[in-house]
Structure 1
Amino acid sequence: MNVLLVEDENYTAQMLQDVIESDKDFIVVKTLDSIVDTVACLAKYSQNIDLIFLDIHLSDGHSFEIFRHIDISIPIIFCTAYDEYALQAIKNNGIDYIMKPFEDQEILASLQKFKQLASRFKKKLNFEIPGEISKVSAYQGSFLAQQKDKTIVVFAENIAMFAIEQDVVYLYTFDRKRYPVFKNMEYIESISDPRIFFRINRQMLINRNAVITIQPYFNRKVILELKVNPEENAIVSRLKVSLFKEWLERK
């Protein structure tokens, strides 16, 4: 899940990122330190963000100012040295309120709380309506992408890979075109056929038909040669190498 971290103390921001990313389900996709930058980021990329860690005192004012400029529906964990803003935090999507200096376990407990809330909400959304067909294909056959001022339809079989680049998810087609997709990677992975697509790392979801060669890389990882050329090398995480090779050999 993608996390936006808003914190104006560099040391604290790095500590928070390290703790957050120690839970393999989370990745900090952006770290910001001001109201202005946060509003601009959320206006553009809010669909790609699952959770916000938000300090209350930022370099250019109180972070509650953000809510005056943009509507936010993303859950927020407030992390601050001040205890007088708890009620205001709850009124602004706050699911937890952590006091500085924090302990690692407090951050991990908040992440767990978020996962439990997200899981319960997802179950409610997936509640089966009596009389409806219970089994439908969960895998999406096409995706909507942006091409300048137009929205185009790209069929799944024509997609070589999805990649997070500069905080935006792009899809690459086999004819070497690239389009932004305004969904987060976790959602795209959940609706993509696992027989065709594999999440090789946090940034990339690969179509098996896009793989040309597999080559050794340092620290027991492997690097892929693909039929397309993303901005970053396609490196399979060390813990996924065996699963990836087994997946490639399946029909």
Structure 2
Amino acid sequence: MPIEIVTIPCLNDNYAFLAHDPASGDTALVDVPEAAPILAALGERGWTLSHVFLTHHHADHVQGLKEVLSQHRANVVGAAADAHRLPKLDIAVAEGDTVHVGKEVGHVMDVSGHTVGHVAYHFPDSAAVFTADSLMALGCGRLFEGTAPQMWASLGKLAALPDETLVYSGHEYTRANGAFALTIEPDNPDLISRVRDIAAARSRGEPTVPSSLALEKATNPFLRATVPAVQANVGLSGADPVEVFAEIRARKDRF
């Protein structure tokens, strides 16, 4: 039985996620932007946290941890490479390590770029990957600490996962990301359709996260630096994909 995943809106545009194994009762929390909505979601379901999986050190992903731990004695998991600036870790992990929610195994992926030491957690049996601010819905995180080659390599790891994988990213930035994506691929029919669907979902107050990896690969400009039409549209036909990615990222930073 796959883990049950609950998307929790936090702050203005963040998401946290609960991953619950019905058989064992284990429940993991991915990132802690804000305690109150997370504690409410746990209380409504009668769940008790067993683990907290942190993706990176930015305050809007960790600042609710102390309050959550005051009510749930969970083991805190995060990147060994980031341990010096994360809250105190019970379990430090690195690329290739595994975590568990009940019997389900999650694989730790180093997805540095937005920050150095950013990790993602991939649960193949449930076709889910928690990416926070690495691969995002129709976007990727700003390169605050890492380089374009680092982020392109990280996105490549994520893009290599099965197409049916659902991408649980950390923010509701999708509408704005879609507006930018149309400046890169204005004639992409999959993108045009997705932007229309995003507008409808947001008008109903629905989150646009998670999204399927197949959809990201068809519409997310940051995954499409090898596509000839994308290269042509940014004036870099035949260029190294890292150079194309860096140009797209620079354009988004100015958008």
TM-score norm. by structure 2 comes to: 0.29
**Larger CA Rg, structure 1 vs 2:** 1
Q: By percentage of residues, which structure has more strand?
A: 1
